[in-house]
A and B are shown apart, each in its own frame.
Chain A
């Protein structure tokens, strides 16, 4: 208003002071949302720093790191270059970063380890010696604690290193090893297993976590590491070389003359000088972190921030509700202000300013809480022994503070837009006569109805299309359509909820209506402010839908994976001995392992089937087969005189189910009846009796075993590994059951994390329920007092609010669960059809938990408002305002 400056700010502050209590819950909702964002940003920064620290740890306390800056990635430092650099004046020591992988074995146990050169200088080693000495000559090693534990060895013991040696062509030509390699070209050279006895001279620790990913590192002499690498057929050259200087580097820049000297030394041995990159340790670590994480930290942030966005959306609903109530309660004041000359714009701005102030204060609190929480988590984390060296303090980056603040304020102001518009609709006349609170109806409502119906119907259509595409084995396009359809329909559902949710509430209300006067009052109360109730239910609906969708999807994924694993890996555990001679020992060792239901030996040979020669067939006792197979009905198809073939194998052999195929082995010929099986591992299986006819010399080459019901797959697997390892060093154990268990675990962990992240939104929604009830209680003070005056007991009053709370929460949870199961199913069908028939699983237990939590939350949400209401004296009913 030109000329007249209406004191909007003062008005706003005055209003806020009067409504402080009413704004608190809304503030808490925003604070939780911004705390979530802050924690995410801080955690992202921590992950980044941890990754950088782990990379930097590898460089120990080196002054410089030499790396290659070659766009083609061909340049390496060879030993000559390393020596040349070491010989430079001012260079105290150099250490090329080298790694060799080999299998350490001792008494039937093995440990695959990375071997690194023992340090040439103390400042160049991330490893520290905790016991014994560094390896001094060839054949000595220092081992990390993980190897001490796994192999049960210590300083002074001897262990075996098993490694592959690729003989060079000269040796091969002399006809040293296998028959297969004689005629071969260079690439056909077969590796030869080589064993070396190594003496343990020391035990190392990895204090900075440089080798966290590999469970520590074994230190050997630089010569041994180079020799083993060379014998494996690899070049002995390095991408990075650590340099320790006589005079420690001052400053963060590498002096130009030093850089030139180093590059010159390398160039003198044939390297391109401009390919030599000289950096400080810090600079190199930072650059390599970016190189290695390759934006993965960004993916993590986006993933988690999606959930923060959901939480903030729910908080926004709480804010909208609060401001709508505030505006309604202030109708009289607003009308009076209009009477004395306030413009609509001023009232509008006053509400928005109030929202901005609330948003700023709440977001500040949220950032503080988020920072404190993250710091506390950091302090607690070491006691969980995560094996990762975490920084000890968070660093409050500008982003982690400013971004949540801005987001919090923006969400609050946006959420207050529609209540602010309502405030401008208060007519000056309202000051003179009591009028109903202003609401937004009419055109906006109709437009909303049309748009949300379109979005909902269209979205569900797309979702169905996605599922159909998934069934048609086009999950890629299907997922795209499904995700888009899911998102669009959910937006439609959420935005349209104020229009149809009251009807659901009314229907639910009719059910509880009969249970007494408190319930009847409660139902009537929930229905008198349909929009507010709907918005509150919707807040919970959002969280419940997403949680349900996730657990339904996870249940589907588990189910599909089980089915797939059962048919792909019909056996729980497969053991292949290192050589045919040890098969009997391996068999009895496996038979003795506890937790196995049955085991049987599998024999094999190569035969001609139809007109295809050299096909491997497996043979098993038909009686024993069903016991070791997860699909016994498939196993039962095997009888003497039959051969099991998968659909695909039968097709390529041009036979059909029930047809006959001729099998010819070294010792005989049989006409076998074809039985088509769905179980992949049962392909080309015949009975041992039949195999004996085809190949009299066939011997067992593997053992199949099945877990006892209830046995822990992972435990039994490692028991089997230990038992077979003890009788046969080379035995190989495969555990599809353990894989299945691991897969289930992965699904559960992911589900747990996602549900945990969504829980924040649910918590905010519950605060929303409390907020709505509290606001209603404040609004209804006179009414509560009247009820008390005409005979409502305190208990009945509390019960009334409890029913209101559970009704609001129950409607949100009920509709949310329906939607969630639907979305979960659609997602399963779309994404999992490739894995086989998708079964539409309803995770009843999870759903019961969700409903239970929602109802209890609704109940709990009513406790505080109910206490406030019960304190109201009946005298208040008589008070004249």
Chain B
């Protein structure tokens, strides 16, 4: 089924790829107004790792994530979740995929205001018609420090708490991969740091795979690896980044010609 030749990229960490993009292209508009949001992206994301996608505003980070998660359709190229080419799936299969194999964390939390934290967390399982794995639920609640907040509604939670509920919701179905788009964008720096360390703990302690989009080098430094993107193309790769290395990478993207690799580790 999968005939694409797997080409490992430099700087890859341990583990087999959970998500891959091959010549992934996304073009918005036509003619004059044509925007190449993604101009042929090849990238692998390892399983059991916390990867950050970083780049300047408008570089195509969100677009890449949408395509990898099957939220939007590609203009050309392929995106694989494990061995599944999700660019070929219809809405029904994509819904099934989102239920079982993909989790999301949003910048604006997007909790349902009329449900309690607990109801929000278990909602994906309920939608799929499954039963909640109580042990896993307990683990998540402990890890994310939500024990005392379960009966609260989103309106009664701080931003950081809301985002932790959202992370629990993303993880409840034990998905293959969790996508997070600017998860700290709406948080103050303390709550942001808290959320990021919870994301990292989810990977380290719970063995999850997380791909996070951010434009913030400090946030990117929490990841195991940073993929740099500029003008819709992969522009670099930093393994085990520090905030300084991430910032340097971002600065290089701004000053240098696009598509010139600035990677390397710090």
A789→B173 CA distance, assembly (Å): 13
**In whole Å, how far is A248's beta carbon from the nearest beta carbon of chain B?**
77
Task: Return chain B residues, CB-CB under 8 Å to A516.
Answer: 129
Which of B31-39, B108-116, B203-211, B229-237 is the interface stretch?
B108-116
Known contacts A517-B127, A873-B71; is-contact A524 B107 (Cβ 8 Å): no
Do A792 and B108 form a contact, CB below 8 Å, given A873-B72, A880-B185? no
Q: List residues of B (84-132) whose CB comes within 8 Å of A's CBs.
A: 91-92, 95, 98-99, 103-104, 106-108, 110, 112-115, 123-124, 126-129
Chain A hits for B115, CB < 8 A = 524
8 Å CB interface, A499-528 against B: 516-517, 520-521, 524-525, 527-528
| Any B CB within 8 A of the CB of A875 | yes
- Chain A residues lying within 8 Å of B72, measured Cβ to Cβ, are 873, 875
Which residues of chain B (169-226) have a CB below 8 Å from chain A? 169-170, 173, 181-182, 185
Which of A521, A527, A791, A880 has a CB less than 8 Å from the CB of B128?
A791
| Chain B 61-89 near chain A by CB (<8 Å), digits 1 or 0 | 01000100001100000000000000000
User: A792–B115 Cα gap in the complex (Å)?
Assistant: 16
Report chain A residues within 8 Å CB of B62: 878
Chain B residues within 8 Å of A793, by CB: 91-92, 95, 127
The distance in angstroms between the C-alpha atoms of A516 and B126, with both chains bound, is: 8
Q: Chain B 124-142, CB within 8 Å of chain A: the 1/0 string? A: 1011110000000000000
Interface centre among A521, A527, A787, A878 (most CB of B within 10 A): A878
For chain A residues 528-552, which have a beta carbon within 8 Å of chain B? 528
Residues 69-95 of A, flagged 1 when their CB comes within 8 A of B and 0 if not, give 000000000000000000000000000
Query: Is the CB–CB distance between B123 and A517 below 8 Å?
Result: yes
Chain B residues with CB under 8 A of A528: 113-114
- Contacting B at CB under 8 A, from A786-814, are 786-794, 796
A554 CB, nearest partner CB in chain B, Å: 43
Given contact pairs A783-B110, A873-B71, A517 touches B66 in the complex (Cβ within 8 A): no
A428 at the interface (CB under 8 A from B): no
Given A791-B124, A874-B71, A527-B114 contact (CB < 8 Å): yes
* Chain A residues near B124 (CB-CB < 8 A): 790-791
Contact indicator per residue, chain B 216-259, by CB within 8 Å of chain A (1) or not (0): 00000000000000000000000000000000000000000000
Q: Does A782 contact B (CB under 8 A)?
A: yes
Q: What is the CA–CA distance of A679 and B105 in the complex, to the nearest angstrom? A: 82
Contact: A790 with B71, CB < 8 Å? no
- Cβ distance B93 to chain A, nearest Cβ, rounded Å: 11
- The complex places the Cα of A524 from the Cα of B91 at a distance, in Å, of 26
Whether A782 contacts B128 by the Cβ 8 Å rule is no
Instruction: Determine the distance from Cα of A520 to Cα of B128 in the docked complex, in whole angstroms.
Output: 14
Q: How far is the CA of A517 from the CA of B115 in the complex (A)?
A: 12
Shortest distance from the beta carbon of B179 to any chain A beta carbon, whole Å: 9
A618–B182 alpha-carbon span in the complex (Å)? 101
Bound form: Cα–Cα A787–B114 in Å: 13
The distance in angstroms between the C-alpha atoms of A877 and B106, with both chains bound, is 8
Return the chain A residue nearest B63 by Cβ: A875
Complex: chain A residue closest to B128, CB-CB: A791
Q: Which of B104, B108, B173 contacts A782 (CB 8 A)?
A: B108
Contacts of B91 in A (CB 8 A): 793-794
In the complex formed, the residue of A with least CB distance to B97 is A791
Query: How many angstroms from the CA of A877 to the CA of B110 in the assembled complex?
Result: 7
- A436 to chain B: closest residue by CB: B155
Bound-state Cα–Cα, A791 to B66, Å: 15
Chain A min CB distance to B13 (Å) = 26
Residue in chain A with minimal CB distance to B173 = A791
Q: Which of A521, A790, A792, A796 has the most CB of B within 10 A?
A: A790
Question: Which residues of the other chain, A, contact B127 by a CB distance below 8 angstroms?
Answer: 517, 787, 790-793, 796
Chain A residues in 8 Å Cβ range of B181: 878
A791 x B98 contact (CB < 8 A): yes
**Smallest beta-carbon distance A880→chain B, Å:** 6
Residues of chain A within 8 A of B71, CB atoms compared: 789, 873-875, 878
Q: Distance in Å from the Cβ of A520 to the closest Cβ of chain B? A: 8
Closest Cβ–Cβ distance, residue B48 to chain A (whole Å)? 22
Chain B residues near A788 (CB-CB < 8 A)? 95, 98
* A786 CA / B104 CA spacing, docked (Å): 9
Assuming the contacts A528-B114, A873-B71, A875-B71, asked whether A789 and B104 have C-beta atoms less than 8 A apart, the reply is: yes
Expressed in whole angstroms, the minimum distance between the Cβ of A573 and any Cβ of chain B is: 67
Which of B95, B103, B114, B170 is in CB contact (< 8 Å) with A524? B114
Q: Is the CB of B66 within 8 A of A789?
A: no
Q: Which of A738-763 contact B (CB under 8 A)?
A: none
How many whole Å from B211's CB to the nearest CB in chain A?
13
Chain A to chain B contacts (Cβ below 8 Å), 18 pairs: A517-B123, A517-B126, A517-B127, A520-B126, A524-B112, A782-B108, A786-B104, A787-B127, A789-B98, A791-B124, A791-B127, A791-B128, A794-B91, A796-B127, A878-B71, A878-B106, A878-B107, A880-B107
> Apart from A786-B110, A880-B182, what are 5 other A-B pairs with CB-CB below 8 Å?
A521-B112, A782-B108, A793-B127, A875-B71, A877-B110
In the complex, the 10 A-B pairs of residues with the closest C-beta atoms, listed nearest first: A791-B99, A786-B110, A524-B114, A793-B95, A517-B126, A528-B114, A790-B124, A791-B127, A874-B71, A791-B98
